[in-house]
Amino acid sequence: MAPRKKSSKTAVPAKAQGVIQGAGDVVEQPIVSTIRENYMPYAMSVILSRAIPEIDGFKPSHRKLLFTMYKMGLLTGGRTKSANIVGATMKLNPHGDSAIYDTMVRLSRGYEALLHPYVDSKGNFGKFYSRDMAWAASRYTEAKLSPICAELFRDIDKDTVDFVDNYDNTMKEPTLLPASFPSVLVNANTGIAVGMASNICSFNLKEICETTAAIIRDPDHDVKSTLPAPDFIGGCQILYDEKVIDQVYETGRGSIRLRARYAYDKSQNCIDILSIPSTTTCEVIIEKIIDLVKQGKVKEISDIRDETGLDGMKITIDLKRGVDPELLMAKLFKLTTLEDSYACNFNVLIGGVPMVLGVKALLEEWIAFRIECVKRRTFFDRTKKAERLHLLQGLAKILLDIDKAIKIIRETDEEIEVVPNLMIGFGIDKIQAEYVAEIKLRHLNREYILKRTQDIEQLEKEIAELDDILKSKARIKTIIVKELKAVAEKYGEPRRSIIIYEDTVQQYHEENASVDDYPCTFFFTREGYFKKIRPQSLRMSNVHKLKDGDEITQELEFSNDCDLLFFSDKAQVYKAKADDFDSTKASELGDYVAAKLGMDEGENAVCMVATKDYKGMLLFAFENGKAAKVPLEAYATKTNRKKLTAAYSDKSPLVGALWIGEDKEVLFTASSGRMLLVHTGALALKTTRSTQGVAVMKLKKGHRLFAVGEYVENTFAKPQRYRTRSLPALGALPSNEDKTDEQLSLI
């Protein structure tokens, strides 16, 4: 590289130019150390201090906000401006005011996202079910703590939980809240951390308290007996699936299906959607329905609008005349988020470690946490009473000789010697002497001292009772159960979400969809092309356009409202609706079935069957001379399956498949030219689709079954020539009067 030319200008020091020395230099650093030093601390901070809730049911942002409001006296006082709360919370929460206010909105009664809101709000706080309804700025709204928060902060000043310094070491804040009920499962909570997430659904407060109390009394309690299913704020319906509920209760993971609740107004011919799953919004549903109407997938709706107001959420759908509302709703449940899934992921921080727990395991962890809180509260009360008793015991000794106490104090020359002299004179310790020395002169009378010392016996009994509680885990559990019952009675509400069973609701399948029914003729060719032609079009022109070498092998007069079964050369059957195919003309090639139905590579359609009721039988003929008779209903499915494997036996190539309404004569033709007339009644009906069938036609070496078709009366001059009394049979060569090309081309 050529040497750089020196500038003629005088060099200016980097500092004077405002340039940082070394800026822009590339420093190599191993990726492993970068992740360890920079990314891992960030990930741990997000997991432990931001996104994952702890056993009290709160994330740090929730806890800081509620504790600030508690310290502001908003549990019993009146509401204050939300901006004041946000400003005060910033002493504990280093994030900006917008993040803090957003947190408060989601905890508020006005937002309606929680079964039991923690913030009693006034003003516009938006709605959880609306994407576009923005909440007002914090300077316009007011808030205070809801009454149920008294259960979150009960005895928080009695050393029930640990306190730590805030981010700048100027205040103390609790690491957990000593909630007297399992708040972790009462209100929904969602968080996304780094590499993990948490999504806890809500449960009814009464049911949770009852279940927790039952587990305390009996560790083997069946949770489902008292906690049948979650409960959601919107009041939507829960499609009950016992296996899913068991999975959620045992593992903490599972997907619960929710669907909207609606009412049909017959006088207005409209459907009112009154609640929706908590995983979606009104705008998403309305936009999706409008899109479906534009695409022509939903033709029963004339108008849709959002009528949400003071009475709550409501989406109104106007119907066209003659529409079945239940069938339409079943269709919308399938095509929109009016039916949605809530993916449960009960990921909770237990002792600083993220753990995915089932409902029972989570309640057991909460019970252990609550036992520790009650123990610490009891020990705090015992310590305070013991300190009080100690002071009163010193005061009782003064009662023996008040004059002596006065004399000691009066005769003491220096103030600093008063306490030591009282200690010596009455045999009391420094704390007791300090207490006596601080008594006012007016209180140094027998009546005052007797009143104070009357509580000694009561305090001794209370301390003994508290000692007994600390020694007995059973008594602590009894206290917790009593508190749970009190919470359930005071704050419990009826279940909002209705539990419905899947077999009691109408499911939408494409066969239930309204299809224009009209007569049409189906054509299927040897190369696998399909045409659906209306009679009027066929009358105008019946000259078919086909590929070179192709020919029509099947022609059926049917209607548009039917199922089509296309059997492939890979022993599979593909099901479709006739309405799925566009009407065409004879002058067009039609649809290539293999491409239309998405068949596997190298797979081709060889036979077609049309049906509405899946009645009758299918006769399969194979090149090895065997035939199988299978009921058509074997191909009917409850679910809307498009493809069935093992549709017939794959032991020998398929020659053809015939639909037979009732047993009749069928003509089998071999490549040797021999023909055999067989009555299908002689073949046993098989229930298994993939049966190999029975031998029907004996074949000479090097020959195969060539064709199969229904026998038409008077086709042969002497049909008995081709009949046989037993199977398998060799068949007969056609006589001179029967030799035509038509019989050989029957399929």
**Structural domains of the chain ordered from first start:** 58-178 (3.90.199.10), 261-337 (3.30.1360.40), 373-491 (1.10.268.10), 510-744 (2.120.10.90)
Confidence tier at 8 by pLDDT (50, 70, 90): very low
pLDDT at residue number 639: 67
* Residue 205 near residue 179 (C-beta atoms within 8 A): no
Question: In the chain, pLDDT over 90 holds for what percent of residues?
Answer: 56
Read off the pLDDT of residues 419-431 as tens digits, 9 standing for 90 and up: 999 999 899 999 9
Long-range contacts of 360-366 (CB under 8 A, 24+ apart): 360/215, 360/223, 360/249, 360/250, 361/252, 362/182, 362/184, 362/185, 362/252, 363/182, 363/185, 363/208, 363/211, 363/212, 363/215, 363/223, 364/215, 364/219, 365/55, 366/55, 366/182, 366/184, 366/212
Give me the helices (H) in 72-172, please: 82-89, 97-106
Exposed, middle or buried by CB within 10 Å (0-12, 13-18, 19+), for 694?
A: middle
CB-CB contact of 649 with 571 (8 Å): yes
Confidence band for 265, pLDDT divided at 50, 70 and 90: very high
pLDDT at 104: 97
What is the reported pLDDT for 740?
A: 55
Neighbour tally for 242: CB within 10 Å: 10
| CB of 315 closer than 8 Å to CB of 282 | yes
What does the pLDDT read at residue 18? Answer: 58
- Write out the catalytic residue numbers: 140
90-141 tens-digit pLDDT: 999 888 899 999 999 999 999 999 999 999 999 999 999 998 889 999 999 9
Q: Looking at the chain, how many residues does it have?
A: 747
Supply the pLDDT for residue 510: 56
User: Has residue 511 got a pLDDT over 80?
Assistant: no
| Chain position carrying tokens 């047993």 | 663
742: confidence class by pLDDT, cuts 50, 70, 90: very low
487 class by beta-carbon count within 10 Å (0-12 exposed, 13-18 middle, 19+ buried): buried
Is residue 210 over pLDDT 90?
A: yes
- What percentage of the chain carries pLDDT values higher than 70? 94
- Whether the CB-CB separation of 376 and 158 falls below 8 Å is answered with yes
Q: Measured between alpha carbons, how far is 271 from 286 in angstroms, rounded to an integer?
A: 13
Going by pLDDT thresholds of 50, 70 and 90, the confidence category of residue 739 is low
One-letter amino acid for residue 500 of the chain: I
Residue 743 DSSP one-character state: H
Q: What is the mean pLDDT of residues 342-354?
A: 94
Q: 405-459, pLDDT tens digit by residue?
A: 888 888 888 888 989 999 998 999 999 999 888 888 787 777 877 887 888 889 9
Local structure of residue 312 (DSSP, 8 states)? B
Per mean pLDDT, which range of 281-295, 518-532, 633-647, 650-664 is the poorest? 633-647
Rounded to whole angstroms, the Cα distance separating 334 from 512 reads 12
Neighbour tally for 679: CB within 10 Å: 12
pLDDT at 40 over 50: yes
Chain-centre distance for alpha carbon 96 = 31
pLDDT in tens, 566-578: 999 999 999 988 8
Full DSSP string of 493-504: ----SEEEEGGG
CB atoms within 10 A of CB 472: 11
Instruction: State the helix-helix crossing angle for 418-426 and 430-437, rounded to 10 degrees.
Output: 110
pLDDT of amino acid 12: 46
* Residue 169 falls in which region: left (phi positive, over 0), alpha (psi -120 to 50) or beta: left
* Band (9; pLDDT cuts 50, 70, 90): very low
**Position 277 confidence tier, pLDDT thresholds 50, 70, 90:** very high
**Report field, pTM of the whole predicted structure over 0.85:** no
Residue 546 tokens read as 């086909």
690 vs 11, higher pLDDT: 690
In the 8-state DSSP scheme, what is residue 35? I
Confidence check: pLDDT of 367 > 80: yes
- Report, in this order, helix, strand and coil percent for the chain, each rounded to 5: 35, 20, 40
pLDDT at 726: 87
pLDDT given at position 260: 94
What pLDDT, on the 0 to 100 scale, is given for residue 48? 87
DSSP E strands: which ranges in 115-269? 119-122, 142-145, 163-165, 172-174, 189-192, 197-200, 237-240, 253-259, 261-265
- What whole-number distance in Å separates Cα of residue 249 and Cα of residue 221? 13
